[in-house]
Chain A
Amino acid sequence: DAKTTQPNSMESNEEEPVHLPCNHSTISGTDYIHWYRQLPSQGPEYVIHGLTSNVNNRMASLAIAEDRKSSTLILHRATLRDAAVYYCILRDGTGTASKLTFGTGTRLQVTL
């Protein structure tokens, strides 16, 4: 599986936007970009995914670079409940469904 690189940690103030970067320079044409997050003492939770175009849902937005070698997860207004570890994951579109290769993720701290 292609690898992703994320900063170990980031901080944000509550009510402000957060941009979480992810580098995936070895991404292949069939790789989807997925984001999951893990809140303390919980299992991971799906956030968003995309292939080439930017995506929006009720939780976040995903901005994908034109060359697809990087992407950014955008939380429009961070709240204390968004404090979690965020994982950027590549999933091969030609493979089977449920194998996720997690990296170390970005630990997001949100302060008042």
Chain B
Amino acid sequence: KAGVTQTPRYLIKTRGQQVTLSCSPISGHRSVSWYQQTPGQGLQFLFEYFSETQRNKGNFPGRFSGRQFSNSRSEMNVSTLELGDSALYLCASSSLETVAGELFFGEGSRLTVL
């Protein structure tokens, strides 16, 4: 079955702009989580959505937001972009509600802010 799909794969924005990234989870998966990966901070949890509700949030400013649709597809938005937002943004989906469920990651969206 198809894996986690993230679009776009690459994008370039300038400071002050906003960006929307999309994630299509594996069919049947209701949990979608987002991560930011930078060389300096590594992989950091942004937020998680389950059945259209945000149920966990990482330590990021309010400029970072997300949502999940009824078909489990998710989007994340970053407003007023800063240079430090340049990163690989990864989406992961999971089918199980318990901690034993493995996460399936997409290949990421690489954002460059100029």
Contacts and interface: CB of A to CB of B under 8 A. Distances in A.
Nearest to B91: A43
Interface string A71-112: 000000000000000010001110111111111110000000
A99 B100 contact: no
A45 interface: yes
A41 to B, nearest CB: 8
B33 A102 contact: no
B8 to A, nearest CB: 15
A103 B42 CA distance: 7
Contacts, number: 72
A42 B105 CA distance: 9
A44 interface: yes
State the majority secondary structure of interface residues on B.
strand
Contacts of B99: 32, 91-93, 95, 97
Contacts of B100: 32, 49
B106 A99 contact: no
Contacts of A43: 4, 90, 92, 105-108
Contacts of A98: 31-33, 48, 50, 56, 92, 94, 101, 103
Given A91-B99, A99-B33, 6 more contacts: A44-B43, A92-B99, A97-B31, A97-B98, A98-B50, A98-B94
